[in-house]
Amino acid sequence: MRVCSVFLSLCVLTASFGEDNWPEYRGPSGDGHATGADLPDKVDESVMKWKTAIHGKGWSSPVVWGNQVWLTTATEDGSKMSVLCIDRTTGNVIHDRVVVESESPAFCHPMNSYATPTPVVEDGRVYVHFGSYLTACLDTATCDEIWARRDLVCDHYRGPASSPILHDGKLFVAYDGFDVQYVVAFDAEDGATLWKKDRGINYGTDNGDRMKAYCTAQVIDVNGKEQLVYPSASATIAYDPQSGELLWTVYHEGMNASARPLYEKGLVFITNGSGSMVAVRPDGRGDVTGTHIAWSDRKGVAKKSSQLMVDGLFYMNSDDGIVSCREPDTGEIIWQKRVSKEFAASPIFADGKIYLFDTSGHVFCILPGREYKLLQKSELGDGFMASPAVVGNHLILRSKSALYLISK
């Protein structure tokens, strides 16, 4: 009886522990799903538990481990780039450390920021990325550097935006610049380079502005073998995450890819910054452009935000304020509706509902399904560029100037 009691307690602790972490961009599974959450439909000051002003300008999404919320920010001119840690219980600032100082930072487009890549956090460590300026691992207790890399360079041209991901002891980062384009696997323990692969993409142009991208990778399992799917401008490449071996490439045109790929129903869904998308079967080798694209489309496709799959249906909120629902097998649009002027943040699915956050501060709570059903439209803050985090029954939102904790 004692053994059963201990086992049951461990199961409960493990479940609670898992729900208390949102370790990277788009959450534990990289798909925008939050399990076990109980959230309010209406997201405004009536359900705000705390609000903390965030100095500077940064579009990185908050990540959470236990009681710590991590994010990055920078001065608008890029002269200082910082890492912040906020206490999830109180909203108090635990750490606020400048990690990069630059007398002459490169140009950054006003739509972007010098602190757009989202950190990755695990027990005892947080990994931050500021493009070619810095990739570093910090101690979560002290905010001290464990390791740092400043030697990997590229001309981001309009500012860095690719977020790193952590998998199997490796930190994967893309450097898709104006001048050079490559992917690196760092040893998460000490920051050593495990492998580095040039993109090798035929961009069809000499214009570096058409070669840059802001993508975040996704590790998927295909027939028992892992693939690191990494979009870029013009094409997406799948690598062996252990060795960096190229597995397959699909050409889909477009530039400025920023969405994280989604793998569902045997298809990888890839969007790019030119407003088009493809659904690809990931079981090919080499160039699969002519053989493994299940469907493609340009109508209502998001250029910035990542997509969402709920109960076998595919959802997006596009830059021009349109929300759409599709059949993932064919790409057929089931419904689409203009609900806002502009979206940049990615949607999430939590508590049986889809939440959407626009650049003006409006929050839309809708029910998933074959008809558009708005539960609640509310307003909070000065607009959302960063995507949210969900831990336990807490919704953590970063607006353009503040961090909020929302709870019933």
Phi-psi region at 323: left, alpha or beta (left = phi > 0; alpha = psi -120 to 50) = beta
| pLDDT score at 275 | 80
From first CA to last CA, the distance across the chain in angstroms is: 37
Asked if 54 and 80 count as a contact pair (C-beta separation under 8 A), the reply is no
pLDDT value for 15: 36
Amino acid of residue 381:
G
Are 295 and 337 a contacting pair, CB within 8 Å? Answer: no
DSSP label at residue 33: E
Of 268, 315, 276, nearest in space to 293 by CA: 268
- CA 11 to mean position of chain CA atoms: 29
8 Å CB contact between 7 and 1: no
Length of the chain: 408
**Is residue 146 within 8 Å of 137, Cβ to Cβ?**
yes
Secondary structure (3-state) at 229:
strand
- State the amino acid at position 220 in one-letter form: I
Q: What is the DSSP letter of 47?
A: G
Cβ(149)–Cβ(133) below 8 Å: no
Quote the pTM value. 0.94
Q: How far is CA 400 from CA 20, 57, 60, 117, 292, in A?
A: 25, 7, 10, 15, 40
Cα–Cα distance between 42 and 376 in angstroms, integer? 6
Per-residue pLDDT, 20: 81
Count CB-CB contacts under 10 A for residue 389.
29
Q: What is the C-alpha to C-alpha distance for residues 348 and 29, in angstroms, rounded to an integer?
A: 12
For residue 210 the two structure tokens come to 């058409």
In this structure, what token pair is assigned to residue 212? Answer: 């840059």
DSSP 288-338: -TTTSEEEEE-TT--SSS--EEETTEEEEE-TTSEEEEE-TTT--EEEEEE
Enumerate residues 6+ apart whose C-beta is below 8 A from 36: 15, 19, 392
C-alpha span between 98 and 240 (Å, rounded): 35
> What is the predicted pLDDT for the residue at 8?
37
One pLDDT digit (tens) per residue for the chain, 408 residues:
333 433 333 333 333 333 689 999 999 999 999 988 999 999 999 999 999 999 999 999 999 999 999 999 999 999 999 999 999 999 999 999 999 999 999 999 999 999 999 999 999 999 999 999 999 999 999 999 999 999 999 999 999 999 999 999 999 999 999 999 999 999 999 999 999 999 999 999 999 999 999 999 999 999 999 999 999 999 999 999 999 999 999 999 888 778 999 999 999 999 987 888 999 999 999 999 999 999 999 888 998 999 999 999 999 999 999 999 999 999 999 999 999 999 999 999 999 999 999 999 999 999 999 999 999 999 999 999 999 999 999 999 999 999 999 999
pLDDT of residue 51: 98
Structure tokens at 364: 């839309």
Residues 6+ apart with CB under 8 A from 34: 22, 27, 348, 349, 350, 351, 390
CATH class for domain 20-406? mainly beta
For residue 262, list its beta bridge partners: 269
Q: Is 287 exposed, middle or buried (0-12, 13-18, 19+ CB in 10 A)?
A: middle
Residue 331 token pair: 């790409």
- Is-contact 14 6, C-beta < 8 A? no
